[in-house]
Structures are given as C-alpha cells and as structure tokens.
Amino acid sequence: MILVTGGAGFIGANFVLDWLSRGGEPVVNVDKLTYAGNASTLAPLSGDARHIFARVDICEAAALATLFTTHRPRAVVNFAAESHVDRSIRAPGEFVQTNVVGTFTLLEAARTYWSGLDAGEKAAFRFVHVSTDEVFGSLEPDDAPFNEHTPYAPNSPYSASKAASDHFVRAYHHTYGLPTLTTNCSNNYGPYQFPEKLIPLAITRALKGEKLPVYGDGKNVRDWLYVTDHCAAIRTVLERGVVGRTYNIGGWNEKANIDVVHTICGVLDELRPAASGARYARQIEFVTDRPGHDRRYAIDASLIEQELGWRPSETFETGIRKTVAWYLDHAEWVGGVTSGSYREWLDTHYAGSN
C-alpha cells in the first residue's frame, strides 16, 4: 500500500491513474477536495478495490494517524497543496495552512508511524515530497538553469510556502532520519489540469470565443513538462532515489508564454477550426502583469538522468497536441469542474476581459 495526498488534483490524479494502470500496489488517496480536487477525475477507479479514497485534510493530525495505522503504507507521496500563484497573491493564508502546516502535520504523522516499524520496514519506508522549481526564484535570460545546488529565493506566497515545506522535509531527514526525497519540478501540463492555469485556460477560453489573457509582454519563460513524464520521474525517485536527496525534474522545454499560447491557437486552428473561419490567435489579449511575476524558470535535469536514468519522453510539440486533443474530447469533464466558484474566480481575476 502507498499513501498519496492530493490524488484528486491534476498531477496526483494522473499519478494514481498511471500507478494503478501499471499494476502498482493499492493506493490510499488522501484529499480534502478543495476547488482544485475533482472526484470525477477518479471515476475510472470506481469499484476498484485497489483505490481507497479518504476525504481528509492533511492538517488533521488525528485523521492522518488513523490512516497510517489502518493502512500501514510503505511510502507516502505528498502532492496535496494549494498550487495557483495568482490565488496565493490574493489570499496567501490558505497556502501557509496547507503547504506549510499541512506538510508539517503529515511529516509528524509519518514520523510517528515510521518510528514504530521494525528495522527492515523502517529502512524501506519512503516519504516523497513533490515540490516546484519556483522555490529557486527568477532567472535572467542568460543565467544557467536551476540545479540541485541553486539557493532558494522564493518570490510569491505560493513559492515561499512550498520552500518552507521543502525545508521541513529536509529537516525531518536530517534530524530524525525519516527517509525523505524531494522533487522540484517545472510547469506541468496535460489531461485533467484545472482550467485556471495557463494552458487549459487558453484552450477552454479559445473554444468559447473568449479573450486569451497574456500577462505583461508575454515574454516570461517557463519550462514545460508533460504530466505523465512527471509521474514517471516520481515513480523513479520513489523506486531508486537516494534517500535525503532532492531531484530537479524538467522537460528541457523553455518557452515564452506568448509562444505557448500561439502554439495552442495553431493546434486548435488545425483540430477544431473556429466556425467563423477566424484564427484563434486573434483572441490573444495582453493584460496587466501579475505582481512580482518571475521572469524565467529553467531546469537542469541532468542529475536525475545520470543517477536514475529518467528523461522525459514527450517534447513540447507532441505533448501540447495530446493535451489540446484531450480537452477537445473531454468537454464534459471541463463542464463538470468549472463550477460556480470557478466562474467567480474568472470574474474577479479577469475583470474587463471577456
């Protein structure tokens, strides 16, 4: 049994679906089901005895203790987090609560359980903490990409809360010997991503004939990784990673935001031409920049390749085509997750764009 947190969110759900489809051990999936968690994503697992869903907040110590003693997992993979930078700018408190207090509470529950294991089980136990490249701050155009020795310099409430959680994970290994591993990954995209993040937002708004909001000059750069490549990297770290290490994970795909949006428009022009005959790129609109917007993220993912043999299998071009095609085929999923509270977010955050 493994215990996964945040397994109803974008990356966590992809991880659980992949894990079980590959014949992995049963999963206890611990998720609070915030606005970003969608039980419908896990519908393919309904009736599958290998998937146990627990609607639990990772800040609830007693509920976590019960889950550990009942299910006796051999590993934890911690995805649960508040994950959207723009929301962290508007309402940072929830980020401190889940990302910092929640990770701390989960570490404590894991440590208590792990302390009671016999020597063999203790040595085999793993706590994998899934984090982000945003903890390293922002790069200048000519700077070398982030590696595992880059100092932390988080700039947003989101990245600051993730950085704090990473420090707690590190401290639990150093102080108590808990067998932890941390991954710092670049921007993910692919199926089941909530349409508040750039790529699914652009696809879904384009199809509705709405403006495609690009912050600032559109030249901020992100590295993009297809989500199933990230899931494979996490499985690799869980199986073969050196305890106590951190691993940077990236797609070797640096792109400016405006180029990402143009690529999406081009794929849509081909796969689902607008009824009007107009090009989707005509919907692009430059809007007010995000406060403190990091200019560039880039990842040097050589350590995980050299040490553990992981490399991404998708290029941005192959991954983005799959992603656009997936959203075209899953209009029902999009309709189901974009509830009233999602529309309220759009109305507040993009007031003035339509």
**Active site amino acids:** 133-134, 158
Find, among 196, 198, 208, the residue nearest to 345 by Cα. 196
Give the residue with the Cβ less far from ligand TYD, 72 or 219: 219
Q: Which one of 188, 220, 228, 323 is in contact with ligand TYD (CB under 6 A)?
A: 220
227-240 vs 10-21: helix crossing angle, rounded to 10? 60
Of 21-29, 185-193, 259-267, 296-304, the window that binds ligand NAD (rule: CB under 6 A) is 185-193
Residue found by looking up tokens 């199809």 in the block = 207
Question: Cβ 2 to ligand TYD, closest distance in Å?
Answer: 26
257-271 vs 316-329: helix crossing angle, rounded to 10? 50
By CB under 6 A, residue 132 contacts ligand NAD: yes
CB-count exposure of residue 315 (10 Å: 0-12, 13-18, 19+) = middle
For ligand TYD (CB under 6 A), the number of binding residues is 12
Question: Cβ 270 to ligand NAD, closest distance in Å?
Answer: 25
Q: Which one of 3, 4, 34, 75 is in contact with ligand NAD (CB under 6 A)?
A: 34
Give the residue with the Cβ less far from ligand NAD, 200 or 213: 200
* C-alpha torsion 230→97→26→192, nearest 10: -50
Give the residue with the Cβ less far from ligand TYD, 155 or 182: 155
Task: Note whether 243 and 181 are within 8 A (CB).
Answer: yes
Of 12-20, 31-39, 196-204, 264-272, the window that binds ligand TYD (rule: CB under 6 A) is 196-204
* Residues 216-275 close enough to bind ligand NAD by CB under 6 A: none
By CB under 6 A, residue 57 contacts ligand NAD: yes
Q: Where are the alpha helices (DSSP H) in the chain?
A: 10-21, 61-71, 85-90, 93-95, 103-115, 119-124, 157-176, 198-207, 227-240, 257-271, 302-308, 316-329, 331-337, 340-349
* Distance of alpha carbon 250 from alpha carbon 269, whole angstroms: 28
By CB under 6 A, residue 163 contacts ligand TYD: no
By CB under 6 A, residue 85 contacts ligand TYD: yes
Find, among 263, 284, 272, 282, the residue nearest to 331 by Cα. 272
* Distance of alpha carbon 27 from alpha carbon 47, whole angstroms: 13
Task: Note whether 169 and 103 are within 8 A (CB).
Answer: yes
* β-pairing verdict for 254-256 and 221-226: antiparallel
Question: Cβ 4 to ligand NAD, closest distance in Å?
Answer: 10
String marking each residue 239-258 x if it binds ligand TYD according to CB under 6 A: ------------------x-
Give the residue with the Cβ less far from ligand NAD, 234 or 258: 234
Give the residue with the Cβ less far from ligand NAD, 173 or 222: 222
In sequence order, the 6+-apart residues with CB closer than 8 A to the CB of 178 are 107, 110, 111, 114, 125, 127, 172
Question: Cβ 333 to ligand TYD, closest distance in Å?
Answer: 18
Structure letter (DSSP) for residue 153: -
By CB under 6 A, residue 103 contacts ligand NAD: no
Q: Which one of 187, 228, 248, 253 is in contact with ligand TYD (CB under 6 A)?
A: 187
Residue found by looking up tokens 């991404």 in the block = 312
Write out the residues near ligand NAD by the rule CB under 6 A.
5-6, 8-12, 31-34, 36-37, 57-59, 79-83, 98, 102, 130-132, 162, 185, 187-188, 194
Interface positions with ligand TYD (CB under 6 A): 85, 187, 197-198, 201, 213-215, 220, 222, 257, 290
